[in-house]
A and B are shown apart, each in its own frame.
Chain A
Amino acid sequence: MVRSWTVGVDVGGTFTDVVATDQLTGAVRTAKTLTRAKDPIGGIEAACHSVELAMDDISDLILGTTMATNAIVEGRLAKTALIATAGFADTVDIGRQNRRELYRMDVTPRPEPLVPPGLRLEAAERLDAEGRTVTSLDDGEAKRLADAVKALGVESVAVCLLHSYVDGRHEIRIGEELRHKTPFVALSHELNPEPREFERMNSTILNAALMPTVARYLRRLEDRLGKGTRLHLFHSAGGMASAASVETRPLSMALSGPAAGVAAAARVASQLQLPAVIAFDMGGTTTDVSIVVDGKAQIGSNHRLAGYPIRQMMVGVESIGAGGGSIARVENGAVRVGPDSAGSDPGPACYGLGGTQPTVTDANLVLGYLDAERVLGGTVCLDTQRAAASLSSVARAVGTSIHEAALGIHRVANANMVRALRRVTVESGVDARACALLAFGGAGPMHAVALAREFGISRVIVPRYSSAFSALGCLVADMRYAEQRSLRMPGSAWDSARLAQVVDGITARLATPLPKSGHDGDGLKVDVVGLVRYREQSDTVEVPLTAPYDPSAISAAFEAAHRRLYGFATDEGWELEAVRVTVFAGANRPIGPVPRATALRSCKASRRAQCWFEAGGPATTSFYDREALIPDERIAGPAIIEDPWSTVVVPPGAAVWADGHANLQITAIETAR
């Protein structure tokens, strides 16, 4: 029996998506199943069965999962001890002393500290900011700490010592002792070699606390898969990692699903040669927005999860708590959509599961965009009467018709999204109007064109497999590891030999796991980015670095980038704050041939119905099956393109066609009008 299938699986909160491709024939299969929260491994197996594959058909399984995130959000973490430099263990409690809500005194200012006082240990040792010893760590102290940990009866230990990002020797020494006593040890200098003790401490503790859970999960999954199937995981920095590497860095799975969506977006952007793309993934309760420039996802290390700051390489995703389930209300004459959400239980009023408050999905149904009979692959029927009834409260409060209220809610939902789009474009210094909007997820394609118009974007793309896009991202991913290291090298005291040494060291370490995972060293690619700033600035600007690391070239590239981002540059001294190395081995799997609907000579509407796009009245709108579209044939709006899982709304004035890769291309703003 030949194992020829590569399978990408994205386990989300509600649905598990699968895209599978046969490496021999190029055939592609895709499906969506319900996520099994109680039986995650069985759920993955069921997802493979849903595309008619048995485990021994599969050569490579690439998994994206919210498992790590859920464990943190739901507080399912292993009992973990902390070892910190003497005088610093309470840092986990003191934090940055800020509160999360400025005006809400009823909510606690911060989440509970990750390690309670009784599990905090202090080590008699200290380095200074240059890595010199202030207090040496003697062997007795390391042994004493290991014994003390043993006595606490914890599963995991996090070690975070002051200035270990400069030199990890004390952490390594303590780690050696600990490994005799406990299997799960996380050392801060390995996970996040950057200054800021509180953030590094949190990242280290979360890693340690996830290790036992993730290790058990991976072992059970590997047992179920059997020896013949290679397991890979999709990590937050936008690539695949081996199960072994995820076991030591489980926090790297925190943004697994969204990162896979961004990776797929990057792939489409390269394929279509788009210089700048905003990836827009709107689901039921959250919307993720990110940006892809020159085919590359933006990577950052500064994130927050469940109220805890974390520092590690992750795809830059702006996540907002708004989606199809967001509830609309009128208060003091103001219309608001969200932040409250009906979620999936009870869900929008039109689900008929007990929800009565009007949601964005109810508005979309009343506007005629959704087919009540065939939504969500036929698993849920939508009740237009209930939707209309829920909207009547808003309509009454503002004195409009139900349809006007629905249109208004659709627009306000988009206005909320505009703020997220603005933040990601500002932060990456990209001219928003030059971007294409790439829409996917359950609700993204329904809002994309109206959102693009609100934001001033003219080109919208709904990619092939848009409703299982994160699973596709898993399938097409590179094997990829990234690490960022603090350097603080001023341009005036440039040492290119030292930089080369650091880069080579990181590269060698990152490349080590690659051959074991089925990639040979020859195919390795290395990407080196410098994070540069003026000496007195805080935020850095990304500058590509290439050997021999000529400082004048770096200086010029930095000034150009600074001018682009902020509109000015000065002749102040600059400094290389940190270097980020990404090592990747391209999988470059084909996504499969494009099916051609050759039997038809022109696109044929499956039906016509009345849809609302403006307050004046409904427009007769043609509905098309996505699979039946003829490539390159232009369809003028108003039109709606449907597949079993999503709905693409093409309002009047816009036009849509399927390109040669089976992506839907939409001109949002018709120039002729």
Chain B
Amino acid sequence: MSIVNGGVDPFTVEVIRNALTAIAEEMSLIIMRSARSPLLREAGDLSSALTDASGGLVAQGRDIPAHLGIMGSTVTEFLKRVPAHRLQPGDVWFLNLPEVGGNHLPDVKAIRPVFAEGKLQAFAVNLAHWADIGGARPGSYVPDALDTWQEGLRISPLRLFTADGPDREKLDLVIANVRGGSEREGDILAQMAATRSAEARLHELFDRHSAAKVQDAIDNLHDQSESEMRAAIRALPDGVYEGEDFLDNDGIDRSPIAVRVKITVKGDEAVFDFSDTDGAARGPLNATPFTAAASVFYAMKAIAGPDIQPNAGCARPLTIITRPGSLLNPPRESPVVGGNHETSQRIVDAIFKALEPAVPARLSAGGSTTSGLLLFSGIDPRTGRWVTLYEVHGGGEGARIDRDGCPVVRAHMSNVMNTPAEIIEAFYPIRIERQTLRRHSGGDGLHCGGDGQIRCYRIMGPEMAMTSMVERCDVPPFGLQGGRPGKPFRIELIKASGETAAVDGKTHIRLHKDDRIVIETSGGGGYGAIPRTGTQ
């Protein structure tokens, strides 16, 4: 070909891009099909990626926004702990440390170095949310955790598999420290098997095109994504934009916590400065800088460039600043479990509110930017087995300039589905008494926010524990351009005796037979002020 982009033509780059994406997609398919945790098999709370030899993200499979910025940092940070010369063909390393390119402990990453032509060429990496990673409470959500050790097992980079097979003693150490023995071992095997298939596919690709040509194509793909991100930034008017939104509380102290952003857009570069965000929380609502990066990437894609290919090139025109010691760059000992899906969402909200004066027509009003997580666990008397139901709850979508919000849908950083009532009743000692729309919960406006939902859980076993990790109970989803906010979340306990009590968004309670939990999810914010009646 006459055109040379570092030795590879643009058509071959596109052919290799498709092949790399197919490899990442295949990894996720394998995990979903063979894993044990319901979170992986039903809800697909996992991601897969390929990186280059230095850890730069190359391709991502099943694209979970919350994982995007994370996967881009995991291998880079891993290589700071484990230098490349210690890696061998056949290794699979596992880790979950938040400070090593991580987000929270339940998201465990598996990393396999891939060699060809005698040298390290790439990494196959996947991230899977384990249903339990140990710690103070089943399910590893500890709403009143004061440090990271209460949240579970901290796995620093650990070689669980070599070319000779599993390292049985290390594997046993991990399994001994988390709940759900064989289920966890199944997840580990699924993550390992997925990286093995990725390695085989990468070898086929290197054989077909040569490793050097694939590397050239990867450099090219990084350049492409960089120019896609620059184009997205150019689509925003130059200026300095400030926005803030608030977490209800951190589960320990009762006061709201501010996430503040100052966005400076200049030409094709942008700075996201979170320095004015409040200090690190005592409770588990802290987020890592990697999570902050994931939120910024998501917001940029959603607002300005939905087709940007996720890889290391995206990051080049962006500068993300977090202040050490703050909520988004907390000390090492800080608990973080909720930061991953609560605080990350509030970062997106703050960015949206900052950009309201600049590009209101591109934005949606506030949605249910929380996992709305209720976690039930206990013995199922029908089987005698310990079961844990991890259930997320979506609310109404925020309205837009040209339409109402949709009822009951997950917002922004997450897209995890619910568990059908028929599955819950078959596998957990719980009855779903009803699941209905929460009518008139969306905020008013020229266009109204979508309605939330109401779901009622009745405990059928003698006893269960319930943990909540729900935001937007106090601070409601915001309206845009004069639209009204949606109704906030509300959780109520109706005891078997008939006595009722409000349940906090971040708490841990014990439930008994015939107790009921009713969760009402938030309505979306409205868009546009309703003109006063009487004016023509």
Contact = CB atoms under 8 A, between A and B. Distances in A.
Nearest to B180: A536
Contact of B394 (A97, A401, A536, A537): A97
B122 to A, nearest CB: 18
A333 B9 CA distance: 11
Contact of B400 (A106, A129, A165, A566): A106
A87 B403 contact: no
Interface stretch (B96-104, B427-435, B492-500): B427-435
Contact of B22 (A98, A411, A418): A418
A412 B11 contact: yes
A98 B19 contact: no
A334 B305 CA distance: 15
B2 interface: yes
Nearest to B16: A415
A401 B220 CA distance: 21
B27 to A, nearest CB: 10
Nearest to A409: B11
Interface stretch (A191-199, A354-362, A437-445, A637-645): A191-199
Interface in A391-427: 398-401, 404, 407-409, 411-412, 414-416, 418-419, 422-423, 426-427
Interface stretch (B30-38, B134-142, B441-449, B502-510): B30-38
A29 interface: no
A86 B400 CA distance: 33
A565 B29 CA distance: 11
B349 interface: no
Given A87-B435, A98-B416, A566-B193, A419 B25 contact: yes
B68 to A, nearest CB: 10
Contacts of A488: 426
Interface in A544-587: 562, 565-568, 570, 572
Interface stretch (B105-113, B182-190, B330-338): B182-190
B2 A566 contact: no
Interface string B412-442: 0001111011110110000101111100000
Most buried by A among B32, B208, B400, B436: B436
Interface string B358-375: 000011100000000000
Secondary structure of the B contact surface, majority rule: helix
Given A334-B14, A418-B22, A566-B34, A572 B2 contact: no
A411 B209 CA distance: 14
A195 B423 contact: yes
A97 B431 contact: no
Contacts of B363: 105
Contact of A104 (B33, B204, B306, B422): B306
Interface stretch (A9-17, A41-49, A88-96, A262-270): A88-96
Contact of A196 (B19, B407, B422): B422
Contacts of B13: 334-335
A593 interface: no
A534 B186 contact: yes
B224 interface: yes
B481 interface: no
A418 B19 contact: yes
B311 to A, nearest CB: 12
Contact of B30 (A129, A456, A566): A566
B41 A538 contact: yes
A488 B422 CA distance: 13
Contacts of A199: 420
Interface in B468-517: none
B243 interface: no
A333 B196 CA distance: 33
Residue of A95, A418, A419, A536 with most chain B CB atoms under a 10 A cut-off: A536
B173 interface: no
A422 B21 CA distance: 11
A539 interface: yes
B193 A412 contact: no
B453 interface: yes
A183 interface: no
Nearest to A421: B22
B18 interface: yes
B41 A99 contact: no
A88 B434 contact: yes
A418 to B, nearest CB: 6
A615 interface: yes
A404 B185 CA distance: 51
B3 interface: yes
Q: Most chain-B Cβ atoms within 10 A of its Cβ — which of A96, A407, A562?
A: A96
Nearest to B29: A426
B408 interface: yes
A334 B309 CA distance: 10
B422 A110 contact: no
Contacts, number: 218
Nearest to A94: B408
B346 interface: no
A129 B423 CA distance: 8
A397 to B, nearest CB: 9
Nearest to B189: A568
Contact of A335 (B11, B228, B433): B11
Interface in B362-414: 362-364, 393-394, 397, 400, 402-403, 406-410
A120 to B, nearest CB: 10
Contact of A419 (B22, B34, B41, B306): B22
A536 B208 CA distance: 39
Nearest to B385: A535
Contacts of A412: 11, 14-15, 18
A136 to B, nearest CB: 16
Contacts of A129: 422, 425-426
B394 A163 contact: no
Given A163-B425, A332-B231, A398-B3, A99 B15 contact: no
B269 interface: no
Given A537-B41, A539-B41, A109 B406 contact: yes
B431 A539 contact: no
Give the one of B25, B228, B426 with max A CB within 10 A: B426
A656 interface: no
Interface in B150-208: 182-183, 185-186, 189-190, 193, 196-197, 204, 208
A97 B416 CA distance: 8
Contacts of A414: 15
A333 B437 contact: no
Contact of B417 (A91, A96, A572): A96
B409 A97 contact: yes
Contacts of A134: 431
A144 B26 CA distance: 52
B228 A332 contact: yes
B30 A426 contact: yes
A87 B25 contact: no
A418 B425 CA distance: 41
15 contacts: A93-B408, A102-B63, A110-B409, A163-B425, A333-B227, A399-B3, A400-B1, A415-B14, A418-B19, A419-B18, A422-B22, A427-B33, A536-B182, A567-B197, A572-B186
Given A87-B434, A408-B11, A427-B33, 8 more contacts: A87-B436, A99-B406, A336-B14, A398-B9, A398-B11, A411-B11, A422-B22, A567-B196
Interface of A: 86-91, 93-99, 101-106, 108-110, 128-129, 134, 162-163, 165, 195-199, 330-337, 398-401, 404, 407-409, 411-412, 414-416, 418-419, 422-423, 426-427, 454, 456, 488, 534, 536-539, 562, 565-568, 570, 572, 615
Q: Closest 7 A-B residue pairs measured CB to CB?
A: A87-B434, A408-B11, A538-B41, A415-B18, A103-B306, A97-B394, A96-B417
Interface of B: 1-3, 5, 9-15, 17-19, 21-22, 25-26, 29-30, 32-36, 38, 41-42, 63, 65, 182-183, 185-186, 189-190, 193, 196-197, 204, 208, 220, 223-224, 227-228, 231, 298, 301-302, 306, 309, 362-364, 393-394, 397, 400, 402-403, 406-410, 415-418, 420-423, 425-426, 431, 433-437, 453, 456
